[in-house]
A and B are shown apart, each in its own frame.
Chain A
């Protein structure tokens, strides 16, 4: 809906004395509108979408109809902004499932295939990466000595080992406690999710996270339209607005459909083990019961559901 609309309609019927004033007003509004046109600040497609967006409730408070309308609105917005038809679902958690993840540090060779698969799958702004791989000297676990920007000709480098880090989906998450509007919470299947349409962008959760796992959309996400993943989830990889926090969500759009997360699929080294902690026959349970597993910053009591282990 263009800014010139209301003013134009009114000038046809308005008295001459006011016409000039309203024209100036329309001009002023249009000038302001032009300034914001290229930066469509809060998204929105029609006026009703804008209002619906503004008044949208928290995900857990919305009725099924409201959620359905919200999902459709997201699909419309994506179509409008990127010209891509996406499908946004809000698949519920599967009963009897608690997700866990383990990384075999002996196997990770630092390829960063997981990092880039995640960027593609989750429609990340190309300046954001949910996964950060640290290169550390062998048998050094001091994260402060990790090299984040390693770029040697080949990996793995002799004498180093590699630690991919992403959201640990803690059982006792400091970020969930910190959020003043409950925009982030733990779902029944253990995934710590963010309602991107509820987040106010205060970034307290980013200060609270001890793993530097949360990322903020400082500007409008740089997302090439041709690379958009179209199967999306409301709490997962749907295109995000500006000014909100986001993070790894265990590929909720995939894992709730029974599929593996993108990082696990991309890893050529088979270093990633994902599964249901409540299933005694799952691979993740075998790893936890038979391997020397450890978690990062165990002393902080965050109880991450992301383990690391070695073969030897």
Chain B
């Protein structure tokens, strides 16, 4: 009945102690390690880690302050598709222009200029030779793709010369006859689309590029709205959510949504 010390106790104790010693090794990354020779120095440096050995020269104030905001915009994530055609899409490499006043007490900001198609700009490339016939009609090449589908006001309500002029190198013209640069297209749009223009000026419409503080750089209207057919065309969405790794989709799964049963919606079943 008394406690009898097993003869093999020593062996078990040794095994237990050795197991504890090698336990940390299970935690180590066991892939092939080019730094193996550095192990000893790492261990010794870790052992002698006290402040007096630390090299303070590496730590400067710059490490903790945020980077200064560049005057040039930081390009947005590659692959951002603003719209289908590239006509008048933004030219991020060009320097921005300060926005012209279209309201009183407008905040100051910069507008990113548009790309210019080398063939078609400036208009005087061709129009210095041709006569500008300013009667409203459907145009022929090379303007045949500019069929004006500008919303409710197209189809003869206004046409090309409402916004364009051919004097000098050609360009845009406001309703009051003021000739402006293509980069200032917002001056044209804001004539009619006042609410959107106001929202654009103050930031609720359109897109600020690159930074959220400092010099504000925004896209021109034409960066997102193709000026001759401004209605956005639907496009395919990117891929939806996926279930986590390690699980398989069951046989019966159907996507929810139109044509799927369940009256088309209400409580989405989770699978990819």
**What residue of chain A has the Cβ atom nearest to residue B270's Cβ?**
A148
Known contacts A46-B35, A127-B245, A144-B266: does B25 contact A3 (CB below 8 Å)?
yes
Known contacts A52-B46, A64-B59, A129-B241: does B27 contact A258 (CB below 8 Å)?
no
Q: How distant is the Cα of A155 from the Cα of B235 in the complex, in angstroms?
A: 6
Please, how many residues of chain B have a CB less than 8 angstroms from a CB on the other chain?
80
Question: Hey, which chain A residues are within 8 Å of B29, CB to CB?
Answer: 40, 43-45, 50, 80-81
B26 at the interface (CB under 8 A from A): yes
Instruction: Contact check, B207 vs A270: say whether CB atoms are below 8 A apart.
Output: yes
State which size class the interface on A falls in: 35 or more
* Chain B 203-225 residues near chain A, CB threshold 8 A: 203-214, 219, 224
A282 at the interface (CB under 8 A from B): yes
Contact with A along B16-29 (1 / 0, CB 8 A): 00100110111111
Question: Hey, which chain B residues are within 8 Å of A155, CB to CB?
Answer: 234-237
Contact with B along A78-112 (1 / 0, CB 8 A): 00110000000101101001000000100001111
A9 at the interface (CB under 8 A from B): no
Q: How distant is the Cα of A257 from the Cα of B214 in the complex, in angstroms?
A: 11
Stretch at the interface among B76-84, B119-127, B154-162, B163-171: B76-84
Q: Which of B27, B67, B68 contacts A44 (CB 8 A)?
A: B27
B39 at the interface (CB under 8 A from A): yes
Known contacts A1-B28, A113-B81, A127-B245: does B257 contact A257 (CB below 8 Å)?
no
B142 at the interface (CB under 8 A from A): no
Q: Could you list 5 further interchain pairs (A-B, Cβ under 8 angstroms) beyond the known A145-B267, A147-B265?
A: A46-B42, A80-B33, A258-B211, A266-B77, A268-B81
**5 pairs from A and B in contact (CB 8 Å cutoff):** A32-B26, A40-B31, A128-B244, A266-B76, A268-B224
Binding site for A on B (CB under 8 A): 15, 18, 21-22, 24-31, 33, 35-36, 38-39, 42-43, 45-46, 51, 54, 59, 63-64, 66-69, 74, 76-77, 79-83, 107, 195, 199, 202-214, 219, 224, 232, 234-246, 255-258, 265-268, 270, 272
